[in-house]
Structure 1
Amino acid sequence: MMFSSYMELYNLIVPEDNMLRRINDLVDFSFVYDEQDKYCLDNGRNAIDPIRMFKYLLLKTIYDISDVDVVERSKYDMSFKYSLGMAPEDSV
């Protein structure tokens, strides 16, 4: 759950018919958590949310860009940040 005073920016910048917004609104990504039991949860560093990691892979596939490019584009493309479930002011 995100609490940011800047969340309203998404309604101004990312149109309702944006493909990433529609995917985010229509797809329930909770199926990603079903795969989480295959990994050790008490070993190593805390991980980034598995759904966000899945969405990074989805963005890479949709836009045919590299790991570096998807991270770089997520810094300035508000539709990417919206899709990833990040607040506008969050760092990537």
Structure 2
Amino acid sequence: MFMNEDRLKDEFILSTLNDFVPEEHLVRNITKWVDFSFIYDLTKPYYSDKGRPAIDPLVLFKIPIIKSLFGISSIQRTCEEIHVNVAYRWFINLPFSEKIPDHSTYSKNYTQRFYQTDIYHQIFTNVLNQIIKLLCY
């Protein structure tokens, strides 16, 4: 008996991202304990209401979090990993129907939109303070 491997690759299933991420996965714990919504208020001054829709700031700022947490060597490689890792995609809240931002999009935001700002420091400090509060209570 043999199996046609192509059939497995084209299988259509009805499921959600949520179904594929184990309850004990690190990204679930981070999402459970850290509220990232403050990023919207911090980044609002750097976005315009005009022009084409921007990439969600949470997506942009969670990409380097994935890179750091999971020891990925570069933003380009991180974007490639997000493309194939359902847990990473779940963490940045990007459904299968949407494309992963290209690494150059992240780089342009880093070197242009947020260049010479303390936005990264503010985000790091806020997340760290949230974790410290959790550990102290």
Give the TM-score normalised by the residue count of structure 2.
0.55
Structure 2 partner of 1:70: 78
User: How do residues 1-92 of structure 1 correspond to structure 2 at under 5 angstroms?
Assistant: 6-7=15-16, 9-11=17-19, 13-42=20-49, 45-65=52-72, 66-92=74-100
SS in 1 for 2:54: coil
Instruction: Look up the equivalent residue of 1:38 and give its one-letter code.
Output: P
Instruction: After TM superposition, give the deviation of residue 89 of structure 1 in Å.
Output: 4.1
SS in 2 for 1:56: helix
Unaligned stretches of 5+ residues in structure 2: 1-13, 101-137
SS in 2 for 1:79: helix
Instruction: Look up the equivalent residue of 2:85 and give its one-letter code.
Output: D
Instruction: Look up the equivalent residue of 1:6 and give its one-letter code.
Output: S
| Preserved contact between residue 20 and residue 83 of structure 1 (Cα < 8 Å) | yes
4+ residue segments displaced more than 4 Å: none
Count matched residues: 86
The alpha-carbon distance between structure 1 residues 88 and 40, as it changes in their structure 2 partners (threshold 3 A), is closer
In structure 2, how many angstroms separate the alpha carbons of the residues matched to 1:84 and 1:20?
9
Instruction: After TM superposition, give the deviation of residue 71 of structure 1 in Å.
Output: 0.6
Give the TM-score normalised by the residue count of structure 1.
0.77
Larger Rg: 2
The alpha-carbon distance between structure 1 residues 6 and 87, as it changes in their structure 2 partners (threshold 3 A), is farther
In structure 2, how many angstroms separate the alpha carbons of the residues matched to 1:87 and 1:42?
24
Identity within the alignment, %? 31
Instruction: After TM superposition, give the deviation of residue 15 of structure 1 in Å.
Output: 0.7
In structure 2, how many angstroms separate the alpha carbons of the residues matched to 1:34 and 1:90?
24
Instruction: After TM superposition, give the deviation of residue 31 of structure 1 in Å.
Output: 0.9
Deviations 1:15-74 (A, max 9, x none): 100001111222211110121233141455431000111111211121232111111001
Instruction: Look up the equivalent residue of 1:74 and give its one-letter code.
Output: I
Cα RMSD (Å):
2.0
